[in-house]
Amino acid sequence: MPFVKHPAAAEPRWHEWDRKAQKSGLRHTVFAVTGDRYTGEWLDNLRHGKGTQIWKRTGAVYSGDWKFGKRDGYGSYSIPDPVTKEYKKVYTGWWKNDKKCGCGTRLYGGGERYEGEWSGGQRSGWGRLYRRDGCVYEGQWRRDRPCGQGMLRLPNENRYEGGWKDGMKHGPGKFFYLDTGQLFEGVWAADVPKYGIMIDFGRDEAPTPTQYPIPKIELADPDGVLEEARAMFDDSQK
């Protein structure tokens, strides 16, 4: 007599349980062994779609888009205040591969705020930083620091416009002393002006102009003098 397999024994019961345990499409809440908690959508047993992650150790919360287990898309990251325990958003914007990437706003302590572009979790591209001391930098960034062309505006409205490198003034630039009605135009290196010229600029509108105007400098070849100074400075940097 041939052997007949019972229908109920066609598949082990644990196969059915395993299929039910696979999270895909629907919203689920899952706790990790660390106590971290995720509530949201899944795909192939990975966080994918809309969801919220809470880290138990820090209390931090991310709410937004996920892609194959990583933050990817638009979302916000919040942390609890150490004193009041109330949650405050520290970053709102775009993510890629679990890092800030694209346009976003980052809030720091003391009212400091950055609005602009990110890459690989660092400020990179164009952005504006409102510093806690009242200064505002607007311009290019690279590896989390001002680098390229940018403008720094001081609380008294004086401002610098020009080159930057590693977060410091570097290269050709102009510093407008609007409080005294003067302008310095020259070249900086590591935040230090190396050479340039100072002229009166908007002296009549300045709130506190200097007592005496800057006398005009008469040179036979002012452009040649500046070019020679620039060449000497470039040689010293080699």
Please tell us whether the domain made up of 108-238 is placed in CATH 3.50.50.60: no
**Burial zone of 228 (CB within 10 Å; 0-12 exposed, 13-18 middle, 19+ buried):** exposed
Confidence class for position 190, pLDDT limits 50, 70, 90: very high
Residue range 141-161: mean pLDDT, rounded: 97
pLDDT at residue 130, rounded to an integer: 98
Question: Of all helices (H) and strands (E), which one includes residue 87?
Answer: strand 87-96
What pLDDT digit, counting tens, does each position of 79-135 carry? 999 888 899 999 999 999 999 999 999 999 889 999 999 999 999 999 999 999 999
Write down the domain spans for the chain.
23-106, 108-238
Give yes or no for residue 55 having a pLDDT over 50. Answer: yes
N- to C-terminal Cα distance for the chain? 95
**Cβ contacts of 61 within 8 Å, gap of 6 or more:** 52, 53, 54, 55, 77, 78, 79, 87
Instruction: Report whether pLDDT(220) > 80.
Output: no
Percent of the chain surpassing pLDDT 90: 68
Coil, strand, or helix at residue 215? coil
**Cα 123 to the center of its chain, rounded Å:** 3
Q: What is the DSSP string of 7-70?
A: GGGSS-HHHHHHHHH---SSEEEEE-TTS-EEEEEEETTEEEEEEEEE-TTT--EEEEEEETTE
Distance, in Å, from the CA atom of 49 to the CA atom of 217, rounded to the nearest integer, reads 67
